[in-house]
């Protein structure tokens, strides 16, 4: 089985455009995460109440279940942020490597 070949294309983006696209994708994911965190904060505020009065009068089990749900959400966000950090580090490292190669020429 041979390796696939990508045909030449005059509309292929430059290396600079690729890096910009990668950085933009990271920024868009960060914006999405901020919206998710804001929605979760509003959900917590609705559950707890503005004055910590628990307007829905939840049971202890419901409070514990809600807390576990929030914890799982935060864990997921932390992992996503870690992956985005690794993606950003890779992009920056590759960009620096390409930049150094072009400086030598």
Say whether pTM exceeds 0.75: yes
CB of 56 closer than 8 Å to CB of 47: yes
Q: What is the pLDDT of residues 59-105, one digit of tens each?
A: 999 999 999 999 999 999 999 999 999 999 999 999 888 877 766 55
Retrieve residue 69's tokens. 């749900």
d(CA 23, CA 17) in angstroms, rounded, equals 10
**The two three-digit tokens of residue 46, written as one number:** 């609705």
Q: Hey, where are the domains in the chain? A: 16-104
Residues 6+ apart with CB under 8 A from 23: 88, 91
What stretches of 1-105 show up as alpha helix (H) in DSSP? Answer: 15-48, 60-104
């Amino acid at each position: 089985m041979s390796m696939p070949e990508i045909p030449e294309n005059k509309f292929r983006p430059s290396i600079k455009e690729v890096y910009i696209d990668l950085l933009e994708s990271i920024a868009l994911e960060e914006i999405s995460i901020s919206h998710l965190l804001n929605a979760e904060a509003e959900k917590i505020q609705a559950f707890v109440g503005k004055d910590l009065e628990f307007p829905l009068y939840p049971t202890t089990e419901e409070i514990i279940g809600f807390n576990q749900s929030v914890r799982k959400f935060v864990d997921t966000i932390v992992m996503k942020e870690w992956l985005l950090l690794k993606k950003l580090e890779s992009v920056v490292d590759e960009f620096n490597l390409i930049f150094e190669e072009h400086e030598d020429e």
